Structure 1
Amino acid sequence: MKKRGAWWAWLTFFVGAVYFIVPLIATFEFSMRMKRGEYSFEAYRVVFASSQFQQTFTYSVIVAIFTILLGVFIVVPTAYWVRLRMPHLRPIVEFITLLPLVIPAIVIVFGYIRMYGTNSWLPFLGTITGTNVLLVIGYSVLALPYMYRAVDTGLRTIDVKTLTEAAQIMGAGWPTIIGRVILPNVLIAVLSGAFLTFAIVLGEFTMASLLNRPAFGPYMQNLGANRAYEPAALAIIAFLLTWGCMTAIQFLARYAPKSANRPN
């Protein structure tokens, strides 16, 4: 029975691998055909040499960094406080953090446009800088389910109550406790959420497009509508970036605390 179960497990793995890998190989092979009659990396050279690629990718990376910082600033204190002082509110907080998975991004961004458009009571938000701020906030909302769960999982591996009491005995205030005691202990979890946020920001299209921002997601969509080989190369590049983030998460997970959940 064990051998039969192992055989079915390997068969399932093989079918799943074929389902994902074969289209990827086909896309990569097509991206190499830009020069007629030979395989080359010409499509990749064209993509990397494009000033639009460089500008949009750089813009999305900068936005991703600010999104990660905002997410950490909001999520770490919230998850810490809920776990330490208000565990009865945990179901409500978890429900709120799941809402971005239910509410489409287009609904959120249309709300932004109606509330904070050119006729907004906050004129700053009608400027280019203000729109960038809105985009960062929107991306933070989209990444909230992943960042919150990553941080919450990290908090489960440490004794939050004991660490807090020890820091208070040493005279530390709440900002010091969160910034110099809790955050370093959940840094691996925070980095996992950060990599997921980075992958989300790079591939997001709806918010950046409707807010008319020069992001990487709209660039990929526009390139796919007008070219043939370059979009295939860009798809491979985006895939490698995403899986690079996933690999980094797995690598960091190996160094996460191995202690079992402790009562807080």
Structure 2
Amino acid sequence: MRASRIWAWVTFGLGATFFFLPLIATFEFSLRMKRGVYSFEAYRSVIGDTRFQETFAYSVTVAVMTILLGVLLVVPTAYWIRLRMPHLRPVVEFVTLLPLIIPAIVIVFGYIRMYGSSSPLPFLATRRGTDVLLVIGYATLALPYMYRAVDTGLRTIDVRTLTEAAQILGAGWATIIGRIILPNVLIAVLSGAFLTFAIVIGEFTMASLLNAPAFGPYMQNIGANRAYEPAALAIIAFVITWACMGGIQILARFAPRSANRPN
């Protein structure tokens, strides 16, 4: 027993070293912009860059719209599948896994081919149309994570009993989903939302090929032309991503209590 615990701690230490050592080295390098001293000059340069502010604000806005679209699509679908069509769950799960199998570059080239300026639906002819198409594309990429998060949340509640009780009290379908089902799976929805946010913030392929002023292409452009700022951007992106992961872990602690509360 004692030997097993020792080997477990050794394995954990090796894994932590493998994970954190490159991050520490990247952080240390990002502080060397001023020769001979450590400083946060690279971080001030990045955060003070107007392109950083514009692209980050754009990606945050797109992420919020993507989350809203994902919730509107996934919550009613997952609820209806669990309530009335459980035999279709394998089919829906397979469909939601397709974005993990089909590369993003294939999806975006299909969008360009289908919605270019010469097509019957020229989304790409205007900036607003491109933004809408980008939100749809990001919602597609985030579909596996959002669907599984919501489906897991629905498993923790008695969907049929809640629905029947609401119908007895005269509630319609919109009321049932919006005021009964959604509050009970809110923690799961927020978990999917954090994952979606992390995906959108760092995504490069779709934003680049659709020529969108997003954060992902900005990070790639900085990495190709500067030395210390890319390291600072990498640390910033890491902090944002792990803040999202930490948010999921914090919310997960309240999931059982929230998911089973009476309505």
Which TM-score tier does this pair reach, normalised by the shorter chain? over 0.9
Aligned-partner residue type, residue 204 of structure 1: E
CA distance in 1, matches of 2:67, 2:197: 8
Q: Structure 2-normalised TM-score?
A: 0.97
CA distance in 1, matches of 2:219, 2:100: 23
SS in 1 for 2:255: coil
CA distance in 2, matches of 1:168, 1:7: 57
The 5 Å alignment of 1:112-123 reads 112-123=111-122
- Corresponding position of 1:101: 100
CA distance in 2, matches of 1:259, 1:249: 14
Aligned-partner residue type, residue 63 of structure 1: V
How far off is 1:101 after superposition? Answer: 0.5
CA-based RMSD of the aligned residues comes to 1.3
CA contact (8 A) 2:27 2:232 kept: yes
CA contact (8 A) 2:198 2:240 kept: yes
Q: 1:260 to 1:140 in 2, by over 3 A?
A: closer
CA distance in 2, matches of 1:110, 1:211: 9
How far off is 1:260 after superposition? Answer: 10
- Corresponding position of 1:211: 210
Higher mean displacement: 4-13 or 20-29: 4-13
In structure 1, list runs of 5 or more residues that go unmatched: none
SS in 1 for 2:256: coil
The 5 Å alignment of 1:216-227 reads 216-227=215-226
In structure 2, list runs of 5 or more residues that go unmatched: none
CA distance in 2, matches of 1:235, 1:124: 32
CA distance in 2, matches of 1:205, 1:175: 36
1:171 matches 2:170: yes
CA distance in 1, matches of 2:82, 2:257: 19
How far off is 1:126 after superposition? Answer: 2.1
- Corresponding position of 1:10: 9
Q: Deviations over 1:74-103 (max 9, x none)?
A: 000010011111110000000000000010
CA distance in 2, matches of 1:221, 1:122: 30
CA distance in 1, matches of 2:243, 2:48: 22
1:161 matches 2:160: yes
Aligned-partner residue type, residue 16 of structure 1: G
- Corresponding position of 1:247: 246
CA distance in 2, matches of 1:124, 1:30: 43
1:48 matches 2:47: yes
- Corresponding position of 2:18: 19
- Corresponding position of 1:30: 29
Q: Deviations over 1:133-162 (max 9, x none)?
A: 000000000000000000000001111000
How far off is 1:127 after superposition? Answer: 1.0
How far off is 1:168 after superposition? Answer: 0.3
CA contact (8 A) 1:158 1:259 kept: no
- Corresponding position of 1:134: 133
CA distance in 1, matches of 2:167, 2:218: 50
1:150 matches 2:166: no
Aligned-partner residue type, residue 193 of structure 2: A
CA distance in 2, matches of 1:201, 1:169: 41
CA distance in 1, matches of 2:6, 2:258: 34
Q: 1:5 to 1:150 in 2, by over 3 A?
A: same
Percent identity, please: 78
Q: Structure 1-normalised TM-score?
A: 0.96
CA contact (8 A) 2:124 2:130 kept: yes
1:78 matches 2:80: no
CA distance in 1, matches of 2:112, 2:164: 45
